[in-house]
Each structure stands twice: as C-alpha cells, then as structure tokens.
Structure 1
Amino acid sequence: MFDLFGQIEEALKELLIAFIKSNLTTMFTDVNDKTSTIASQVGQTPQAWNGSIFSMIRNLSDSVIIPIAGLIITFVLCYELISMITEKNNMHDMDTWMFFKWFFKAWVAVYLVSHTFDITMAFFDVGQHLVSAAAGVINGQTNIDIASTIATMESSMEALELGELLQLALETMLVSMCMKIISILITVILYGRMIEIYLYTSVAPVPFATFANREWGSIGNNYARGLLALAIQGFFIMVCVGIYAVLVNSMTVSSNIHSALFSIAAYTVVLCFALFKTGSLSKSILNAH
C-alpha cells in the first residue's frame, strides 16, 4: 500500500517536472526569438524594412504632400521677400545684394523639397551606421542558454516535495504567459518605431518647405530633430540589448529555483521597459517635441 502511494507520488513528481520543463523551454524560447531579432530589426533602413510600404509612402508624399509644400514655399518666400524689403527703412535703403540672397534662399528651399526623401533617408543611414557599430562592440550573447539552465533547475526540482512542485508549476505557467506578453510588446515597440518613421517621412516636404524663413524655420528645425531622434533611437535600443545580455550572462541559477525563475523574468521586464523609454529619451536629448 505504502509503495503504491510512493509510486504514485513519484509519477506525479515526474509529470510536474516535465510540465515545468516544458513551460520553461517555451518561455525562454519565446524571449530568445524576440531578443535575437532586435539587432536585425533596428539596423534596417525604412527602404530595407519593407520596400512596399516605403514605395507607398514615397508615392503619397510625391503626389499629395509636395503640392502642398509648393504652396507653403510660395507663401514663405513671399513673406520673406516682403520682410526683407520693409525692414530696410521702408525701401529707402535698398540693396541689390538682398535680392541675390533671396534668390539663393528660394533655390535652397526648392532643392530641399525636391530632394526631401534623399535627405530624410540620410538621417536613417547615419542611424544604421550607429547600430552596426554598436552591434560590433556589443559582443554579449542575448540568448539564454536553455539546455544548461533547465538542467540546473531540474537537479533542484528533483529535491522538491510534491506540493512545492505544484506551486512551481503554477508559477512557471504564470511567468510563461507574462513572458509571451513581453515578447509581443517587444515586437510592438520595434514595429511601432518603423511605423512612426514612415509617418514622419510621409509629410517631410511640408516642414522642409519652412526652412527658407527664420520665423517659420522652427517647424523644420524641430522636424529635423525628431528625425534624428528616431534615427538614434535604434542605437539606444542596441545599448538596452547589450545591458540585458550582460545581466543574463552574469546570472547564476541558485538553489532557490523560485528566485532564479523570477530573476530571469525580471530582467526581461526591465528590457521591455527600457525599450519603451528609448523613444522619449532620444527626443528629450535632442529637445524634439
């Protein structure tokens, strides 16, 4: 009778251990798949990330936004010419040089609008260079060593009682669900950044048309800072991944399996939170709003 109960207990323990190992494997695999794609995602330019979306945005900009930018250029240049003439003592101190200056401003304004996409893409080429350079410096492996981690945990699980294993099974199931949500959030952050880039570039000719005037030029200046902030956000994302790699690689699975489990989950939560903050951080540094 007692041997039968003992065998049942051992069978239940083996079943719970297998269930816990399955949860851990799924949990770590989901996170590894997402973190391993971060560098490749942020290192891509808008053209390379999705050529179809980029072509659509460019066509919209050329056919819809550039005509509006042409009207804005006309207004800004007329306003600039009137301001230049009236500020010279109501046309009493006229200087022919100021007309050459106005023509030069007009040429620059038209050139900027007609080459808007080339200029905006130059910002992200710089960002891609920063990400590539950061990836070369960050040599830490972001992946969690699933086999060795689970093997270490399994040796600790075998010494636990049935009630503790049941508690651990519930904890792994809960943490695994949370990690799936975190992996989805990481995808949302990466895709959201690219969509924001496309939205920014779709209306690029309008703020670029304001550079010709000092007063209206603040619109274009703030837009350029926003573009640069989006470009260097990729660098900050790579720094976050590097910090995460160092934390994971320096972590030791202790005898307290509950602590080890929640430590790994906590590091991933911190990574997700830090990724969310990269956008506001880059904008605050460049004073873009």
Structure 2
Amino acid sequence: MGDSWIVDNLNAALNTWNGKLAEIWQLLTESPQTFRGGQVWSVMVGIHGALQAIGYGLLVLFFAIGVVKTCGSFVEVKRPEHALKLFIRFALAKAAVTYGLELMQAVFSIVQGTVSTVITQSGTSGMNSTTLPQELVDAINNVGFWDSIPLWAVTLIGGLLITVLSFVMILTVYGRMFSLWMYAAIAPIPLATFAGEPTANVGKNFIRSYAGVCLQGLVIALSCVIFSALAASPPSVDTSASVVTAVWTYVAELTFNLLVLVGAIKGCDRIVKEIMGL
C-alpha cells in the first residue's frame, strides 16, 4: 500500500524543517560579502562609501564640539600636551571612518573563526535530518478510512506547527545577516563620533552592538550543535498504543524539541546582550 496523505503531509513538514536547518547551517558558515554572490554587499559598500563623505563632515563637527566642551579656554588648546591629545583623537577618529569597514570585517572574521572552531570540535558537519519512523508510516498506512479521520486533524496541527517553527527560526538567522549589512552601510556616521570626547560613547556602543551581532552567530551555532546532540535519538514510537495516540505523541515530542531550538535561537540576542553588558 502506498503512502497516505497523512504520511505525505508529515513528510512535507519535516522536509521544510530539514531544508531550513540546512539553510541555517549555510548562513552560519557564510560571510555577508559572499552571500548570494555578494550583490547585497556591493550595494552596502556603495552606501558606505557615500556616507563616508558625511562622516568626514561630522568628524569636524564632533571634534569642534569636543574641543568646546572639554577646554575651559583657548589657552588650554595651546598647551602642547593638550593639543597633542586632541590631534591624536582626531587622527584616530579619521582612521576609524576611513578604515572602519576593514576593521568591522576583521571583527567578523575573528568571530567567524570561533564559529568554525565550535563546528569542527563538535564533529558536526551539518544538521541531522529528521525523518518519519518506518514503523509509524506502516501503522498509518494500515489504518482504515474512518479511523484515519482523527489522524487528519493531528497531522494538520502538527504539520502546521513544524512549518511555522521552521520559518520563525530561519527569519531570526536572516535578521542577523540583515543587521550585519546595515551596520556595514551606516558605520561612518557613528564612528565619526570618536572625534569628540563627549560623543565618543556613541561610537563605543556602535562597536559593542556590532560585535554582539557577530557573536549571535556563535550562539546560534552552539544552539544547533546542542540540538543535534539531543536529537541524535529521535522520538520513540509507542507501537502498543493506538495509531492516533502514537502519531500525536510523536508529533508532540518532536514539536517540543523543535520549539526548544527555536527558543534558543530567538533568545540569542538576549544572551549576547548579557555577555556584552548591553
């Protein structure tokens, strides 16, 4: 007897989930520069270059504000040690605006190396695919028409939950990639605040926030590795119970496991903020 609609529906939901897990694994090991052929990155680089001109203008403005607020009089500016301090601050701020994108790529490369180390040490080259147990498939195929009606409801609910969870999970990971692009595009403006001592906190918070977004990849990778270890043993099938009970128990246990992973990925932002003290 061929697979029934119930089996096909469950398999379709599991295939969606497996596909999203594989996509997450690819996103974790890919940089914003190479994603989708680098088309989005080239646009962000163009915007970054255009905002650099604005950043240079703001650089002078923030520097002037800093001089006014930190110096009691013009006589202090004329002191060699104070003038040297202001010159060094301005030079470092200009270097941050000029080479900010390269510095951000270096930070991302360091975190990406950590992610690769976690993946390598875990011995996991990808997420394990979740498949429907053969004994459950056989039990469903042997159910008569009237007895299969409750299974339709169970299958619809379970398949819908699995599909929704898979899209919630992948949207979170894509959100991180979008954040990396946006940080790269607008970097010259917040980095220009380093020119003035009173406004330097804006630049510091920007760098910390960017490092936090990069670290989200590490937390997501750890979540996937932990889930892969927990899911090494698939949910058990109770062959002594009725088919409806067996299917419902299997779907409920599987959905709970998937919900744990989604919760861990969704909570990566909170975890990183606690680590970074944001």
User: 2:213 maps to which residue?
Assistant: 230
Is residue 2:261 matched to residue 1:277? no
- SS of the equivalent of 1:44 reads coil
Q: Which amino acid aligns with 1:55?
A: S
Give the whole-Å Cα distance in 2 for the aligned partners of 1:139 and 1:23: 32
Q: 1:5 maps to which residue?
A: none
How far residue 164 of structure 1 moved from its aligned partner, in angstroms, is 4.4
- Give the equivalent residue in structure 2 for 1:7: none
- Alpha-carbon distance in structure 2 between the residues aligned to 1:139 and 1:24: 29
Answer yes or no: is 1:119 the counterpart of 2:103: yes
Give the percent of matched residue pairs that are identical in Structure 1 and Structure 2. 19
Checking the alignment, whether the CA contact within 8 Å between 1:84 and 1:98 is kept in structure 2 is no
- Indicate the SS of the match to 1:211: helix
1:24 matched to 2:10? The reply is yes
Residue type at the aligned position of 1:49: F
Q: Secondary structure at the match of 2:75?
A: coil
Report the alpha carbon displacement of residue 31 of structure 1 after superposing the two structures with TM: 0.8
CA distance in 2, matches of 1:79, 1:274: 44
**SS class of match (1:182):** helix
| TM-superposed deviation, 1:208 | 0.8
Q: Which runs of 5+ in 1 are unaligned?
A: 1-13
- Structure 2: gaps spanning 5 or more residues: 239-245
Are 1:61 and 1:202, in contact at CA under 8 Å, matched by a contact in 2?
Answer: yes
Q: 1:67, 1:92 → 2: CA distance?
A: 30
Other-structure match for 1:3: none
Work out the CA distance in 2 between the residues paired with 1:248 and 1:96: 66
Dislocated runs of 4+, deviation >6 Å: none
Deviation at 1:159, TM superposition (A): 7.2
Q: Supply the AA of the counterpart residue of 2:265.
A: L
Shift of 1:261: 1.8
Would the aligned equivalents of 1:225 and 1:287 in 2 still touch at CA under 8 Å? Answer: no
Assess if the C-alpha contact under 8 Å between 1:24 and 1:150 holds in 2: no
* 1:61 match: 48
Q: Would the aligned equivalents of 2:66 and 2:199 in 1 still touch at CA under 8 Å?
A: no
Question: Aligned equivalents of 2:261 and 2:95: distance in 1?
Answer: 42
Query: What is the CA-CA distance between 1:114 and the residue it aligns to?
Result: 0.6
Distance (Å, rounded) in 2 between the aligned partners of 1:281 and 1:215: 29
1:177 corresponds to which residue?
Answer: 160
For normalisation by structure 1, the TM-score amounts to: 0.83
What code does the residue aligned with 2:55 have?
A
1:109 aligns with one of 88, 93, 96: 93
Paired residues of 1:130 and 1:232 also in contact (CA < 8 A): no
CA distance in 1, matches of 2:9, 2:98: 55
Q: Distance in 2 between matches of 1:193 and 1:43?
A: 13
Task: Work out whether 1:40 is the aligned partner of 2:23.
Answer: no
1:199-218 residue pairs with structure 2 within 5 A? 199-218=182-201
Q: TM-score, normalised by structure 2?
A: 0.86
Q: Which amino acid aligns with 2:129?
A: I
For residue 214 of structure 1, what is the amino acid of its counterpart? E
Tell me the distance in 2 between the aligned counterparts of 1:93 and 1:261. Answer: 72
- C-alpha distance in structure 1 between counterparts of 2:117 and 2:211, whole Å: 17
Task: Flag the structure with larger Rg.
Answer: 1
CA distance, structure 2, for counterparts of residue 274 and residue 92 of structure 1: 54
Structure 1 residue 121: Cα displacement: 1.4
Within 5 A, what are the aligned runs for 1:240-255? Answer: 240-255=223-238
Aligned residues: 269
Instruction: Work out the CA distance in 1 between the residues paired with 2:263 and 2:175.
Output: 15
The aligned counterpart of 2:241 is none
Closer/same/farther in 2, CA of residues 145 and 216 from structure 1, 3 Å limit: closer
Pairing 1:100–2:87 present? no
Tell me the SS of whatever aligns to 2:179: helix
Please list, as runs of the form range in 1=range in 2, the aligned pairs for 1:54-93 lying within 5 A after superposition: 54-63=41-50, 65-83=51-69, 85-86=71-72, 91=75
Q: Quickly say closer, same or farther: Cα 1:232–1:93, change in 2 above 3 A.
A: closer
Q: Deviations over 1:110-134 (max 9, x none)?
A: 1111111101112211221122112
